[in-house]
Amino acid sequence: MHFLAPSLLFGLLAAILPWLIHLIGKRRARPVRFAAMQLLLRSERRISARRRLREILLLVARTGVAAALPLIFARPFAERTTDVPVASLDPQSAVIVLDDSASMSRSAGLSTLFARARDRARALLRQFPSDVDLALLLASAGSSPKIGELSPERARVLEALEDIVCSARPADFAGALRSASLILSGSAHAKRRIYLFTDLQAAGWEAGTGLPREGAPEVIIDDVSGGARWENRAVLDVGVVPAPEAGTGGIAVDAELADFSLAGTRGLGVALKVDGVSVAKGFVDLAPGGRGHKRFLHRLTGEGGGAHDLEVEIDRDAFRLDDRRLAHVELSRAMSVLIVNGDPRTARNEDEPFFFAAALRNGLPSAAVTIKLPDDVSPESLESTTMVALLNLAQPSEALAAGLVRFVSAGGGLFISVGDRVDMTLWNGRMAKLLPQPLGLPRTASALPGQHAGEIVDDRPAERLAPIDRSHPLLANFPEHGEGLGSARFFKYMLLDPAPESPERSVILRYESGAPALVEKQVGKGRVMLLSTTVDREWTDLPIRTGFLPLVREAARRLVGATGDDETASLRAGEARSLVFSGDEQRLEVSRPDGSVWVARREQASAAHSILYGETDRLGTYHVRSVGPDGAVVARPEQDFVVNLDTRESNPARLDPADRPDRIAAASPGAKPPKHRVELWHSLAAVMIGLLFLESALTLRRRRV
């Protein structure tokens, strides 16, 4: 400890005053010859412990106050050797680059590496002399500069520093150092330096240093990790595929796990959570630096579809962000389709399933498609199926019809297409409960094109579809004028007998003549769709039109109650998500994992009715909902997405020293480490005030007694 005015320390002699007063006071005590000594001594025994403690505390408090006053006036201070760079003592222009990438959120003692980095940056800022111009940047990919121009206002930089929170984005040092170099290029100071506070993880340096070869500013790296190796375990990937063997709604969740340690991991706990509820747990052994896999089979509940948030979580370690990984899954991804081929052909391209299955497999890659002949289909086989397609089936057996009624009522989807083989009388009898409308007579618009099978272009007269109504959910994602569907021609189709109006039945597509082309009916918890023509080229060329694939895909989704299938539903932190306005939606709202809400208005959207959402700094599930013109809020689960960690951040490998851009700084010869002066009089004053309070309290108590 040092003093600015040490001569005032003579005042410390005042500290003995309370003791002198105490001793003199004792001597000056008035003698009294008292008769009731017995009572007096008894009273004294009762309170002596408390009285003595109070006397000692009083004496200490008064001595402390008497000693504190001269100490405060002597202005004490301490000198602490700091580990901030010596270079910080020069006048200069400096850009502070703070690594706020995901790996900096790793625990370090009671704090995190990021908090430590911010402390060091704060200490550096306070250490700078007054004539320093400063800027403040972040090292995470896609981050905005905090102070993007050189400024002499240190308080402003300090304030900006306090506002920074660690992100989940990956690091991009090349970008950050390039920006810092650009900022410093306009500096008036001769000395230009970049101070980088980072854990020196190799991830983020893949693109090099980003500095120019000539005239690059000096880079000084503060390795806040202390160079210590850290061991990590991570969930690298989570994949979800349908698992019909697990029953309706069955899914298989595959988790890829990694170990980044020298010793490996035995018995690593892995848990599967669905919508926040832990449903399964297992254990995995991982070799040192090795990978492992864990598969969970689970059956999603909620017949009829719906979106689910899946999460695979492993036992926690110091870096918690990669101990869990999320997936957003809809039932469509676990779709299992059984196609019943009612009119098998030897030539594949003349077979109905050829077109229908191709559309399903391309439109819904995760769907499991099975094709069977009518005789091979048993009612029991429907249990592991989410959707059944009956294509040109002559007549469903009574057992199959009854099984289909149970299947649809329980939430399954049934697609029916007709053709030459269909026996409408039997159909109308056995499938009356399921058919949206009774089947009628076939209507031929022109001569059959049978002898011209295989031709792409057919110039015979045909009917087309009436303009589509995009208000129907199935058609909401189609272009406004129904491109891809409007060009389809229908040479023959089956008329449907009239049926009473019912809210459970709706016509999705009509021919120009007004006859229904695609009709839907709700049966119990499931749906049935009836296409009044073929799904091969025998009665129509729809299967070779561009609208066929999205029509089959959307129909399949709707039949199983799925709301979408989006490969972009899983993002990495920092990536942007395109959100689409559909129908007459006026507003889209994104609910973030922390509960905050981001709002986009239709006016902000592009011509394609889409808008980019880029604030994906937090890991978790982002839910989207839309607001219509009437203010009604509707969930848009098909646009929901999850944000996961960039797996590069999980790798604890450190940057090769040869690739460090701070070799110049490391070569700075023999300067003494700087010392930081810490004023102590504030603390002493606080102690003195505390002692005064104590003394007052004790004295008041005595008077009250």
Partner 1 sequence: MRAGQKIIVSEGTTGRGQQPRPGLLDPTDLARLASLDLRARTIVEGAFSGMHRNLHPGTSVEFTEHREYAPGDDVRRIDWKAVGRADRYYVKRFEDETEMHTFLVLDASASMGYRRLGVSKLDYAGYLAGALAYLVGQQGDAAGLLLFDESARSFLPPSTRPGQIREVFRLLEAAQPAGRTDAALALGHLGELTDKRSLIIVMSDLLDSEPDESGDQARGALPERLRQLRARGHDVALFHVLDADEVELPFDDLIFFEGMEPADTRTLLAQATDLAQAFRRESQAFRNRWRGTCLEAGVEYRFARTDAPPAEILRAFLADRQRAVRL
Binding residues for partner 1, per CB under 8 A? 25-26, 28-44, 46-47, 51, 702-703, 705
Query: What's the min distance (Å) between Cβ of 59 and partner 1?
Result: 13
Query: What's the min distance (Å) between Cβ of 704 and partner 1?
Result: 9
Query: What's the min distance (Å) between Cβ of 24 and partner 1?
Result: 10
Q: How far apart are CA 179 and CA 471, in angstroms?
A: 49
- Which helix (H) or strand (E) segment holds residue 308: the answer is strand 307-314
Q: How far apart are CA 263 and CA 583, in angstroms?
A: 56
In the bound state with partner 1, the residue whose beta carbon lies nearer, of 33 and 266, is 33
Q: Say if residues 414 and 382 touch (Cβ distance below 8 Å).
A: no
Query: What's the min distance (Å) between Cβ of 703 and partner 1?
Result: 7
CA 503 to chain centre: 39
Q: How far apart are CA 176 and CA 266, in angstroms?
A: 39
Length of the chain: 705
β-bridge pairing 610-613 and 620-627: unpaired
In the bound state with partner 1, the residue whose beta carbon lies nearer, of 33 and 672, is 33
Query: What's the min distance (Å) between Cβ of 121 and partner 1?
Result: 56
CA 272 to chain centre: 17
Q: Looking at this protein, which amino acid is placed at residue 340?
A: V
- Which helix (H) or strand (E) segment holds residue 257: the answer is strand 250-260
In the bound state with partner 1, the residue whose beta carbon lies nearer, of 27 and 266, is 27
Q: How far apart are CA 114 and CA 118, in angstroms?
A: 6
In the bound state with partner 1, the residue whose beta carbon lies nearer, of 51 and 677, is 51
Phi and psi torsions of 325, nearest 5°:
-145, 145
In the bound state with partner 1, the residue whose beta carbon lies nearer, of 31 and 670, is 31
Query: What's the min distance (Å) between Cβ of 21 and partner 1?
Result: 11
Q: Say if residues 536 and 491 touch (Cβ distance below 8 Å).
A: no
A 10 A CB-CB count for 505 gives: 18
Query: What's the min distance (Å) between Cβ of 43 and partner 1?
Result: 4
Phi and psi torsions of 467, nearest 5°:
-55, 140
Adjacent-strand bridge partners of 280: 272
In the bound state with partner 1, the residue whose beta carbon lies nearer, of 47 and 207, is 47
What letter does residue 128 receive in the DSSP assignment? S
CA 309 to chain centre: 11
In the bound state with partner 1, the residue whose beta carbon lies nearer, of 22 and 472, is 22
Q: Looking at this protein, which amino acid is placed at residue 612?
A: L
Q: How far apart are CA 225 and CA 654, in angstroms?
A: 10
Query: What's the min distance (Å) between Cβ of 698 and partner 1?
Result: 11
What six digits make up the tokens of 574?
């920092």
Q: Please report the sign of the dihedral spanned by the C-alpha atoms of residue 98, residue 100, residue 103, residue 106.
A: positive
What letter does residue 697 receive in the DSSP assignment? H
- The single residue listed with the structure tokens 């006053």 is 69
Cα–Cα distances (Å) from 403 to 85, 368, 409, 464, in that order, read 79, 21, 10, 35
Sheet-wide strand order for 147-151: 147-151, 132-138, 92-98, 192-198, 218-223
In the bound state with partner 1, the residue whose beta carbon lies nearer, of 21 and 373, is 21
- At a CB cut-off of 8 Å and minimum separation 6, what does 612 contact? 576, 577, 578, 579
Query: What's the min distance (Å) between Cβ of 691 and partner 1?
Result: 21
Q: Is 322 helix (H, G, I), strand (E, B) or coil?
A: helix
Q: How far apart are CA 98 and CA 105, in angstroms?
A: 13
In the bound state with partner 1, the residue whose beta carbon lies nearer, of 316 and 702, is 702
Query: What's the min distance (Å) between Cβ of 74 and partner 1?
Result: 34
Q: How far apart are CA 680 and CA 81, in angstroms?
A: 16
Q: Is 584 helix (H, G, I), strand (E, B) or coil?
A: coil
In the bound state with partner 1, the residue whose beta carbon lies nearer, of 609 and 702, is 702
In the bound state with partner 1, the residue whose beta carbon lies nearer, of 682 and 702, is 702
Query: What's the min distance (Å) between Cβ of 28 and partner 1?
Result: 7
Q: How far apart are CA 3 and CA 33, in angstroms?
A: 53
What six digits make up the tokens of 447?
């001569």
CA angle in degrees (0–180, nearest 5) for 211-213-219:
45
In the bound state with partner 1, the residue whose beta carbon lies nearer, of 45 and 213, is 45
Adjacent-strand bridge partners of 571: 643
In the bound state with partner 1, the residue whose beta carbon lies nearer, of 29 and 347, is 29
In the bound state with partner 1, the residue whose beta carbon lies nearer, of 599 and 700, is 700
- The single residue listed with the structure tokens 């929901």 is 640
In the bound state with partner 1, the residue whose beta carbon lies nearer, of 17 and 37, is 37
